[in-house]
Structure 1
Amino acid sequence: MPEPRIDDFEDMFENSPCGYITLETNGRIAGVNKTLLRWIGRTADEMTGKRFSDFLNMAGRIFYETHIAPLLRMQGFFNEFAIDMVTATGEPMQMICNALEGRDAAGKPLFTRLALLKATDRRRYEQELLSAREAAKTSLASERETSELREQFIAVLGHDLRNPLASISAGVRILGRDAKTEKAHQVVAMLQTTVMRMAELIDNVLDFARGRLGGGITLDRNARKPLEPVLHQVIDELRLSSPGRQIEAEYAIDSPVDCDRTRIGQLVSNLVGNAISHGTASQPVRVRAETEEGLFKFSVANGGEPIPQAAMEKLFEPFFRGEVRASRQGLGLGLHIASQIAKAHDGVLTVTSTPEETKFTFVMPLR
């Protein structure tokens, strides 16, 4: 058997690493190389003179006759179309085909050349990708549905809890008016603190649910009403609910603040409550509110261990609680809701943490 030569073009055609077919203008096979014959287990005599479409499966035959052949006639070529040729055993062999028409000077078709590559692995990979994409779509849709149902449930639950809580709060106020002994006053104070804490949790849950369901944090801005009385009230309530902790508050609000006072009170409650939960009990929580250079600034600082860097990156994510003492349980929504309130006011909430202190700072424009 003679050795193949680099300039042997007949050998290059017959034993090329891809299949070749030459078609007459009527679509019948004029020539086919040995590579393709080996792949599909057929002979040249078996294929020569037959229509190329005769060796395609039914889907490939329809696609070739209705799409490939007309487009070839229009533009003279067609690249990377997928077909399934039928082997001698009747099995489909998946291939990728390029087609090119040979034409004379007047543009009249003379023949068509086809180059074919096995595409079994490629088609399998493509099918796996399609299947994976469909599975991902299905999984994502299921997760979204589950998430929406969960958040709708949270919203409904929050609303349903408010009514009985309001009744409990009213009952506690009545008991407070009738309390005769010091012990009774202590019990009433404890109940009031618990009701306040429950109301705070419900507000956070409802705000979170609104945000996830597309409602967002709603604001009722009013620059005419002073903000400082709201801050006093919130700090006093927190002092009442945490009698063992010292809260130092300093106010220098000299200009009107165009804000939702209730929302700012909620932000302050969440930030100071967080400082009480995580700060060392031997050092006071320091609060400062001021207006300066067209800005309203509010800061809360506490002593204790610095926040780890890994936790710093997740502080404002929902349901992140870090390490909190058992005496003050929560859902991990306080800082997240505070950050959303800050954004709703076109402001920003930041945090710094050193061995000396951890400090949260909220800054927003006055108008």
Structure 2
Amino acid sequence: MTGGDTQIVMPAEDLEDLYENAPCGYLSLQPDGHIVKVNRTLSTWIGIPAEQLLGKRLRDLLNTSGRIFYETHFAPLLRMQGFFNEVALDLVTADGRTLPVLANAMERRAEDGALLFTRVTMFQAAERRRYERELLEARAAADAAGAIVKSQLDLEQQTAELREQFIAVLGHDLRNPLASIAAAARMLRKEEQTDRSINVLDLMQGSVVRMSGLIDNVLDFARGRLGGGITLERRAEHLEPILRQVIGELRSCHLDRGIEVSIEFAGPINCDSGRIGQLVSNLLGNALTHGKSDEPVRLSAATVDGRLELWIANSGPPISCDAMTRLFQPYFRGEIGTSQRGLGLGLHIASEIARAHGGTITVSSDDTETRFTFVMPLD
């Protein structure tokens, strides 16, 4: 210090303290989506100790609508462009409250393009959401004040239009680009490829199959909740080809897994073969997800004494008694094999398809195997 100059000495910044006590929430995700690091700020906001958050997935911290948004927007956007900004999410706190946040995320990749981890930053957005909600409520009140009271017939017509629009988005606007992706992948496979590009095409094909299944499940769930229900187009037809096709698609997504198949049908079966294929896809996909990776999944389908009997079995830890009571409820996901993300609708939709055919799905599980059995009368 010389003359009249005053020098201000700033203390050295503590980077660990800056991370742990930042005015925003931080977390880091492994390539498979598991949380590997979370700061004290975020754990304090939701009331869950940081060590209890490690190993969970970000989707496990979200409410039901947030989980759907995660699967249909959050994760695909991140995979496509490697980042996103200001995505609105609702976290569920330890006491069951909803905490609105705005999330930013960015992937960190190695020089060869391999995903190393994903960083996510969250900012509380309760006041912003409240302000937006008040604006919407004010606009709705103004609209309601000048609107003519609708008749019950008009209300039913609006509900029907909403149902058809929602189903159209799922059934057409999402399926068409998905079909284009699948077609492009098939075209590329006809050209000479490197080992890396072949792996990328395999991942694309697996994602197409998985996204198609998600669309089918959400579409059927929406129909059920909006009044359409599971629809069938029953006719006598040979069922084995559709089952072989479903098995082949899932084999392409699980190249390292074995699937043992036994199919013995006496002739054509009166059913909706597409729906039965969807049922089998959901049950077989569930078995591949939760079964032991070093043991095959077994599938048997046969016509016996005037009924169709189809069962799918896998080895692995038994299903708990508590989980047994909720297996076929929508949005239920077991704790085993959570590395496979999903909405928890597959078993619910399978059970609805079985019921629409006048059949049932039962499950048994012990230390030896877990088996789902579909039985349907042959009309």
Looking at structure 1, the residues matched to 207 and 296 of structure 2 have their Cα atoms a distance apart, in angstroms, of 23
Residue in structure 2 matching 1:191, options 197, 204, 217: 204
Tell me the matched-pair count. 220
TM superposition shift of 1:182? 4.1
Q: Does 1:263 align with 2:292?
A: no
Partner residue in 1 for 2:217: 204
- Asked if 1:334 is matched to 2:346, the reply is yes
Q: 286-295 vs 154-163, which deviates more?
A: 154-163
Gaps (5+ residues) in structure 2?
Answer: 1-158
Aligned to 1:347: 359
> Which residue does the alignment assign to 1:276?
288
Q: Residues 255 and 213 of structure 1: is their aligned pair in 2 closer, same or farther, counting only changes over 3 Å?
A: same
CA RMSD in angstroms comes to 2.3
Letter in 1 for 2:367: P
Distance of 1:323 and 1:153 partners within structure 2: 35
* 3-state DSSP of counterpart to 1:197: helix
Evaluate the alpha carbon distance shift between residue 222 and residue 157 of structure 1 in structure 2; reply closer, same or farther with a 3 A threshold.
Answer: same
Structure (1 or 2) with the larger CA radius of gyration: 1
Change (3 A) 1:356 1:244: same
Match of 1:325 among 337, 349, 359: 337
Residue of 253, 263, 283 corresponding to 1:241: 253
Q: TM-score, normalised by structure 2?
A: 0.55
Relative to the length of structure 1, the TM-score reads 0.56
Q: CA deviation at 1:221?
A: 1.3
Deviation at 1:183, TM superposition (A): 3.6
Q: Residues 66-117 of structure 1, C-alpha deviation per residue, up to 9 Å, x if partnerless?
A: xxxxxxxxxxxxxxxxxxxxxxxxxxxxxxxxxxxxxxxxxxxxxxxxxxxx
Instruction: Map 1:52-67; keep pairs closer than 5 Å.
Output: none
8 Å Cα contact 2:362/2:373 also seen in 1: yes
Kindly indicate whether the alpha-carbon contact (under 8 Å) linking 1:256 and 1:366 is maintained by their aligned counterparts in 2: no
Q: 1:323 & 1:349 partners in 2: Cα distance?
A: 21
Q: Is the Cα–Cα contact under 8 Å of residues 238 and 267 in structure 2 kept in the other structure?
A: no
1:1-367 → structure 2 map (5 Å cutoff):
155=167, 157-159=169-171, 160-223=173-236, 225-367=237-379
Q: Deviations over 1:19-70 (max 9, x none)?
A: xxxxxxxxxxxxxxxxxxxxxxxxxxxxxxxxxxxxxxxxxxxxxxxxxxxx
CA distance in 1, matches of 2:213, 2:277: 11
- Following superposition, the deviation at residue 324 of structure 1 comes to 4.3
* Contact kept? 2:300, 2:310, Cα under 8 Å: yes
Partner in structure 1 of residue 96 of structure 2:
none
List gaps (5 residues or longer) in structure 1.
1-146
Q: CA deviation at 1:252?
A: 1.1
Aligned partners of 1:288 and 1:298 also within 8 Å: yes
- CA distances 1:267-318 after superposition (whole Å, capped 9, x unpaired): 0010010011111112211100000101011000111111111110000000
Tell me if structure 2 keeps the 8 A contact 1:154–1:205: no
- How far the C-alpha of 1:229 sits from its partner, in A, is 1.0
**Could you say what secondary structure the match of 1:341 adopts?**
helix
Q: What is the CA–CA distance in structure 2 between the aligned matches of 1:254 and 1:287, rounded to whole Å?
A: 17
Identity %: 53
